Amino acid sequence: MTYSDGGGGTPGQSLMFAATKLNTRNHRLQWLVRALFGLMTLILIVPVGIILGVLVVRGGPAISLEFLFSFPRDAMTAGGIFPALVGTMWLVAVSLMASVPVGVAAAIYLSEYAADNWLTRVINLAIINLAGVPSIVHALFGFGAFVIFAGFGTSILAASLTLAVMTLPVVIVATRESLQTVPMAFREACWNMGATRWQTIRIVVLPNAISGILTGVILAVSRTAGETAPIMFTGAAFFFPFLPHSVFDQTMAMAMHLFVISTAVPGASDELKYGTALTLITLVLLMNAVSIGFRSYLRGKKKW
């Protein structure tokens, strides 16, 4: 591939813009890299598109107000998903109530207060490791710690706390990174005026980090709503055709329900399974959309 000059000068001048061999090679390479990375992006999007497409096509017809707001019938081979839907909302809400305050506080401590010493480094390492623990291990930990040791029994509380432990690293890492994007000069200016560390955090740091913190919360919500293993032993019931009254009740949950009707209930219609999956994914996307909207609203107000 060569270029015509296009500058329209005299032949002598146009040599100045003629492509050298090196130009041509660089240009080809750049084109190749761009195509390759574009292809990777496409590969990423295709499964998402297929999953959503199949779910909408096959599960769409099942969705109705009746499906969403009625209880399962006929040994879970028919009827709706209402208790699972409500249960998932309970789990998400209670686990966020635990993971967000703890995670944000820990991140503030690590980013704003802690000295850079071996202890902090060990803690950071622990957080990264916690993020890598398989969810079934979290489930067993939650069963031991919350169900048996703390005596919560199999309940929303035990399941939510297990989920909270699992999502904690996500919240901590996102919050810490977002705190660190706030320029040091803002903190110094505030300290120089005689503000304490906490005043500085409250007045300058947190308001400018809030959109990044929300990103962490969004990720936490998605994981909380979608995980099955951690709630299997800790609070999610196979079949519990009542709405939970308190955090000490067991509950059904969307992810668990999908797992159950897909593997353990003979005769459940495909439509029911796809409908449940579609509802779950819609629920997660909806919660994400709300948080993303809120986040971009806050970003729009970003002040520097």
Partner 1 sequence: MVATDVKLAVRDLNISYGGQRALSGVSLDVHEHEIFGIIGPAGSGKTSFLRTLNRMEIHHKDMTVEGSIVFDGRDISRVKNVYALRRHIGVVFPLPVGLPMSIYDNVALAPRLSGIKKKVALDEIVERCLTRAALWDEVKERLDGLGSLLSGGQQQRLTIARALSQEPKLLLLDEFSIAVDPVTTMRIEDVLKELKQELTIILVTNLVQQARRLADRTAFFLNGELIEVGETEAFFTGEVKDQRTLDYLEGRFG
For partner 1, the closer of residues 125 and 203 by Cβ is 203
The single-letter code of the amino acid at 135 is: S
String of contacts with partner 1 for each residue 208-237, x by CB under 8 A? x-----------------------------
Given a contact cutoff of 8 angstroms between Cβ atoms, the answer to whether 79 and 71 are in contact is yes
Answer for which of 191, 239, 259, 294 binds partner 1 (CB under 8 A) is 191
For residue 72, what are the β-bridge partners? 79
Return the closest-CA partner of residue 255 out of 288, 217, 290, 222. 222
Q: Binding of partner 1 at residue 119 (CB under 8 A)? A: no
Given a contact cutoff of 8 angstroms between Cβ atoms, the answer to whether 139 and 162 are in contact is yes
Given a contact cutoff of 8 angstroms between Cβ atoms, the answer to whether 230 and 166 are in contact is yes
Q: Binding of partner 1 at residue 189 (CB under 8 A)? A: yes
Given a contact cutoff of 8 angstroms between Cβ atoms, the answer to whether 217 and 171 are in contact is yes
For partner 1, the closer of residues 79 and 207 by Cβ is 207
For partner 1, the closer of residues 118 and 304 by Cβ is 304
Q: Binding of partner 1 at residue 204 (CB under 8 A)? A: yes
Q: Which residues of 69-96 are buried (b: 16+ CB within 10 A; e: fewer)?
A: eeebeeebeebbbbbbbbbbbbbbebbb
Answer for which of 66, 74, 188, 270 binds partner 1 (CB under 8 A) is 188
Which part of the chain contacts partner 1 (CB under 8 A), choosing from 60-68, 72-80, 200-208, 241-249? 200-208
For partner 1, the closer of residues 20 and 192 by Cβ is 192
Given a contact cutoff of 8 angstroms between Cβ atoms, the answer to whether 130 and 154 are in contact is no
Could you give the dihedral angle defined by the CA atoms of residues 9, 10, 16 and 19, in that order, rounded to the nearest 10 degrees?
80
Answer for which of 43, 48, 65, 185 binds partner 1 (CB under 8 A) is 185
Answer for which of 18, 39, 203, 286 binds partner 1 (CB under 8 A) is 203
Which residues contribute to the site for partner 1 (CB under 8 A)? 115-116, 185-186, 188-196, 199, 203-204, 207-208, 302-304
